[in-house]
Amino acid sequence: MDYPGLDEKNRLIIVSNRVPYNITRIRNELVYKKSVGGLVTALDPILRKTGGLWIGWSGFARNSRFVEKKVNVPRENNDSYELKLVNLSHDEIIDYYGGFSNRTIWPLFHGFIFQSYFDATYWRSYQKTNRKFANEVLQEATEDDIIWVHDYHLALVPGILRNKNDKLKILYFLHIPFPNYETFRVLPWASKVIEGILGSNLIGFQTRRDAINFLACCKEILGLEVDFYKFIVKFHNRFIHVINIPISIDYNHFFNYANKQETIKLENRIKKSLKNIKVVLSVERLDYTKGIKERIRAIDYFFETYPKYKGKIIFLQIVVPSRSKVEEYITFKEEIDEMIGKINGKYSHEMWSPITYIYKSLSQEKLISYYKVSDICLITSLRDGMNLIAKEYVACKIGGSGVLILSKFAGAVEEMKERAVLINPYYIEEIANKVKLALEFDENEKVQNMIALQEQVKQNDVFKWCKSFLNYFYLNQI
């Protein structure tokens, strides 16, 4: 792929909360294993090709062995790039990461105002840590480099960089939703967060709604001049462009994995164990924004209303552990464990239970095998920036037999609404009724819808997202 202007002298510098490699110690030796995920998939090849730099938290609390340490990755390949590891103290991990990032911004930006904590200690740590990240960038960046800052953890970094050097080229992409004005104004430091983001030359969002929400906040909170037609905002005599480009997946990776012999063998073993029982699959990180409790209530209603399906289908609930030390998440897991136990106790008979509950991270082969055997993928997000599970499921449905049931409040709905079955995740009866509808779909209709969804995801993969964002910057010479 062509990325004009990027080379070793004009580097792409990625700045994110975590570096794209998981670092572990084995017998006093550091082992680097590349993470999985859309962002890493898209950006790792560019940095390898152009010799870029990725700056992020090491994952460790401060340790002299990691302070200001730079390494080349992948370590076994000449085609590599540099990682610069930012080290956080225990207090910064608690207050910046667990606190302001995940107890203040995360719930607020997803519309959960009453789960947001507005703690001045959190805010001070967030400011301090954003300055720490920015200082690491300033030690490395030149005016020829492209600095691309990612996500809600680092919203102040663009503004800090701009104040230090007005000639820097700074991009910013928010991977989660941006709230409307009435929600965002609740944040005591709302103006500071907006000013931080506005340090960028180009700001990207997942959906058009998110971009409009941001522009409205610029107008209402800071009183700035905003062009809602061209998506441009004027700040400190600079014109900042705002765009919406939805992130995606590496379609070919999932499609090829689904065709691997190892995956097919595992798929066949799972099918044999199911004995013609249909599967309704849900996969997500442990998070209250994913509508897990609402889905469990809908499962209860489903079997209460449609008892003929007892013993004929199972709801396969895969939950990946997340933020296991944050109080809200500990409580949330206890609640869903109890809810699932009650549903299974209420409806189970002989060798069948309505909900099969898996709480752990799964290998790629196993997850894709579950995608393949599932008749329905049920996504009930109460609010989601995108939801890549929807796209992964579609990419793995070789032959096209499967139905995607998608929340109206997931960012993916803007691209997939024509061929997915849409639900309001707060409407329990509707979820149950749409599951019944999907189970009874005509096979030809299912295949036509899935093939159309596959083509949409294939044509708009994560590489197109990355190239579109960078090329918008180059072509508009912002």
Residues noted as catalytic: 175, 384
Task: Write the DSSP assignment of 114-138 as a string of letters.
Answer: GG----HHHHHHHHHHHHHHHHHHH
- Cα separation, 469 vs 39, in Å, equals 13
Which of 246, 204, 212 lies closest to 229 in space, CA to CA?
A: 212
| Sequence-separated (6 or more) residues with CB below 8 Å from residue 379 | 282, 284, 387, 389, 390, 404, 405, 406, 407, 410
Q: Please, is 26 exposed, middle or buried when counting C-beta atoms within 10 Å of its C-beta (0-12, 13-18, 19+)?
A: exposed
Which residue blocks in 11-167 are alpha helix, DSSP H?
38-50, 90-92, 106-109, 120-138, 157-164
Cα-trace Rg, the chain: 23
* Residue 448 Cα distances to 83, 108, 121, 206, 419, angstroms: 44, 38, 54, 27, 9
DSSP letter, residue 467: H
Locate 38 and state its tokens. 């859309």
- Cα separation, 93 vs 156, in Å, equals 17
- Cα separation, 357 vs 354, in Å, equals 10
Residue 439: phi, psi to the nearest 5?
Answer: -65, -25
- Cα separation, 50 vs 288, in Å, equals 39
Length of the chain counted residue by residue? 478
Helix, strand, coil percentages in the chain from 3-state DSSP, rounded to 5 = 45, 20, 30
Q: Which residues pair with 226 in a beta bridge?
A: 233
Locate 165 and state its tokens. 């050097």
**C-alpha angle 377-20-179 in degrees, rounded to nearest 5:** 60
Which residues of 187-248 form beta strands (DSSP E)? 202-205, 225-227, 232-235, 238-244
Which of 189, 157, 410 lies closest to 282 in space, CA to CA?
A: 410
Residue 60: phi, psi to the nearest 5?
Answer: -105, 155
